[in-house]
Amino acid sequence: MTTNHQELNDKNSRLAELKVISGSSAILHFAGRHIPAAIGRSGVHADKHEGDGSTPSGLLPLRRVLYRSDRLDPPNTSLTCEPLIENDGWCDDAVHPDYNHQIRLPHPGSHERLWLENHLYDIIGILGYNDDPVIAGRGSAIFLHIAHPDMRPTDGCIALSLDDLRWVLEQGLQVIFVPN
């Protein structure tokens, strides 16, 4: 897929394009704005695997949003928006039937907690990657979430500042295109 400048600069477009600057630094082009983003510590790869630290290339539709209701009001979005609870997690165990699905903790498989002490997961946009169908070992938990204040690399997710994340959700972001 190729995008054109008119589509990316169209303030009514629901498509964003991620452009890697270098390493794990990127710019998200959306609705006429250029937004700093952090991506996976290993950059972008078409052949993503569980634990490789890369952000997958391709079209990543924004499926739904989770948020910490004890810290924030719900984001203004047309997407399904659900509050997190303390025992929410995401299964990253490639041999478990719950692989790449939201789960409740405790859980017997390897998993990531979604209820964090830091603020990185105060808002989580669930990006559609390896979810239709799920392929064991191809990668899990690719989120659009809040960046660390120093924009440090992610484990494969795309991270924006809280203000920018709220803004893209409010503007109706639906899909992120990540070129290889």
Residue 10's pLDDT band (cuts 50, 70, 90): low
Domain hosting residue 147, numbered range: 5-178
What is the per-residue pLDDT across 42-98, written as a single tens digit (0 to 9) for each? 999 999 999 999 999 999 999 999 999 999 999 999 999 999 999 999 999 999 999
pLDDT above 90 for 13: no
pLDDT of residue 1: 43
Closest to 140 measured CA to CA, from 97, 99, 105: 99
- Number of other CB atoms surrounding residue 90 within 10 Å: 22
pLDDT recorded at residue 5: 46
- In the chain, the number of structural domains is 1
**What three-state secondary structure class fits 75?**
coil
- Which residues lie closer than 8 Å to 160 by C-beta, 6 or more apart? 28, 35, 36, 37, 144, 145, 146, 147, 168
pLDDT digits (tens, 9 = 90+) for 15-26: 999 999 999 999
Q: Give the residue-averaged pLDDT of 168-173.
A: 98
What does the pLDDT look like over 113-133, one tens digit per residue? 999 999 999 999 999 999 999
Entry pTM = 0.93
Q: From CA 50, how far away is CA 62, in angstroms rounded?
A: 20
Percent of the chain whose pLDDT exceeds 90: 93
Q: Residue 124 is inside which H or E element, if any? A: strand 123-127
